[in-house]
Structure 1
Amino acid sequence: MTESTAARKPRRSAGSKAAGTTGTKAAGTTAGKAGTGKRTTRTTSTTRTAAKKGSEPELVQLLTPEGERVEDAAHAEYASYVADITPDELRGLYRDMVLTRRFDAEATALQRQGELGLWASLLGQEAAQIGSGRATREDDYVFPTYREHGVAWCRGVDPTNLLGMFRGVNNGGWDPNGNNFHLYTIVIGSQALHATGYAMGVAKDGADSGVIAYFGDGASSQGDVSEAFNFAAVYNAPVVFFCQNNQWAISESNEKQTRVPLYQRAQGFGFPGVRVDGNDVLASLAVTRWALDRARRGEGPALIEAFTYRMGAHTTSDDPSRYRHDDERAAWEAKDPILRLRRFLESAHHADEGFFAELEAESETLGKRVREVVRAMPDPDRFAIFENVYADGHALVDEERAQFAAYQASFAEAEGV
């Protein structure tokens, strides 16, 4: 299967039994099957929204850095969402992460070669993005920031379409309604409000689809995010707030962002919050399925804090060596999300050397295609900026287009053409 085929066909999500939704009771809850649209009642343990005093914040982990499955009764409800996951699906998650990382590495290299103006790498955050992305259904709607390349992959967006904006040839190279994946948002935190408003509309329409908004730990300090939390809670909007806490808001550490674990903020707004091991793709998949499941059933918003690490720079204009130490990065390298799943696949005999060799060849093919497509991207039409400003024509836009056309024509006149 080529990378484009996998991107177009999302794997079965919470609504599929084979994907791990059992619909069984766990951890004192009344569970309904995901994706059925039934409005059932589920009691959520308060231990998810507040850590006990004097203890470390609770972390949902289903796969250790050594690649061993975690059997924890406290997290049985979440584990039930991946209880029936198949070896083929596990290999699919591994493939997603490997190819996403390769695409990301190619984009970084292209920026260094002058082919892109900027790039925001996701290196180290593959598990959080692939796990949560594969938890979504086709009818769910996703609101990303500018770093959700793995989620875009899961939603079926061709990876090369992500690069046009960073090359400066378009304002977003895909139709958001084609994949229910919104254009990248550069304004920090604003997409949380967009997602909440969209989710309120979903609820008014009586649909059973969910909405998910991605943002980082730095964006959690923006007023837009707190406003989104409040509106979502008051209107019981079916939205999941997925915060990728990669420890650094550019050069600002977590300690300068918050005095309490980010997931605990949800408690103050009246909805559940969960901290998940963001380098554990199984835990990220399970917790996001749980959150989207309850949102679709009309139980309101939830906050997921994916505790992960930004292995690279904030963007290619950043130098992280100026504000963080090498030993910190080395400690997180030992928790690498791809290596973690590979260890599990090998120990469980779910993948052999042939699988890994074939994937390496596919990775090389993807890298070659990305390089070729980017270098062949045409310059944009100068008048494209006036398109899609309004749903219908507008006199002011027509006037501005005419002024710009006259301005362009003046150069030809000056040159005597």
Structure 2
Amino acid sequence: MVDTNETHVIVGAGLAGAKAAETLRSEGFTGRVILLGDEREKPYERPGLSKKFLTGAEERDALRVHDPSWYTAHEVELHLGQPVTALDREAKEVRLGDGTAIRYQKLLLATGSSPRPLRVPGADLAGVHYLRRLPHAERLRAVLRNLGRENGQLLIVGAGWIGLEVAAAARGYGAEVTVVEPQPTPLYGVLGPELGGFFADLHRDRGVSFQLGASITEVVGQDGMVLAALTDTGEELPAHAMLIGIGAAPDTALAEAAGLEIAPREEGGGVAVDASLRTADPDVFAAGDLASAYHPVFGRRLRVEHWANALNGGPAAARAMLGREVVYDRLPYFFSDQYDLGMEYSGYAAPGEYAQVVIRGDAGKREFIAFWLDGENRVLAGMNVNVWDVTDPIQRLVRSRRPVDPERLADPGVPLDALPG
């Protein structure tokens, strides 16, 4: 029997919110758990949208966080298609789009992020796509299949993870693919030029064309449909369809209107929280893409947009809501699958914040580990490419904050477990 005298509300029915609801119940919370989502889909995981679902290897049921019956069985009140329009922290209530007000004792904000729009003339033409939600992926999958059958041209704006994963999926269907990116390499803002060039070669070998150092200035069409895009380098690039993948912005409007602190841009621009994922309001927490959380290992706030952060951050926030002592210090972790390449990345090393990259293994054979080191030879991050079961020792090296010998680090004959840490 649910105790109606205490209510914990979760705004955002994605992975972070759904796992937080699960944790509230598994940790023994007997009050009301209300999970609010503006999508009409039950909570699902997003990585597959640009991976196995997009390629057709999985269907929508594989994306679900829980079986549909789980929410009723665990007395989680799931409200779908209900955007939260206001947060009144003094009254401790949220208001829904239909005017309903819901009181809370503790509140978790897990509203995630939204794709950054391409703001150029013609960007609203039919055939210009974004990829964030399941309906986006369903439409894009149908488009890629048609492009493959007709040898059509997909133009991707942005060479980040979404752009490259969609490029791989499109080539799998047989579509022609061109990627436009203003930086000198793909993934420049994540991996830097050393490994960004590696991913450019991977895709070029599969027939993808790149326009690097270029930006789209206009999308041109006919009868409301996209036909081509113009670049600031003077190119006109044909396109039967376009995918915009120029990053995501945290959905902070609700929190900002309620007077919660928003972290500065250099800290990710999300809702500012401490290491327990608590805002300055002791009854309001934030997790997932939305949160700019203080990270004890790196001594700074980070906003991490990846699956593992939602998977682990939601439960951590739920425990903090219950009064548990929580220090959320999971290292940033993400993975990607492109063609026959799989990779995992652990840690944090922004361009300009590392001194060198050390390669262990054979990059030419696409089987290696890359390490990003600071000026004191401490490991900031590591990425294993087609090398498996090494995440734990990589993360141990990052956590240790101890200098390593770069030559020993690069030598596959030296076990990772034998290095400092």
* Normalised TM-score (structure 2): 0.25
* Normalised TM-score (structure 1): 0.26
Q: Which has the higher helix share?
A: 1
Q: Which has the higher strand share?
A: 2
Higher RCO by CA contacts (8 Å cutoff, separation 6 or greater): 1
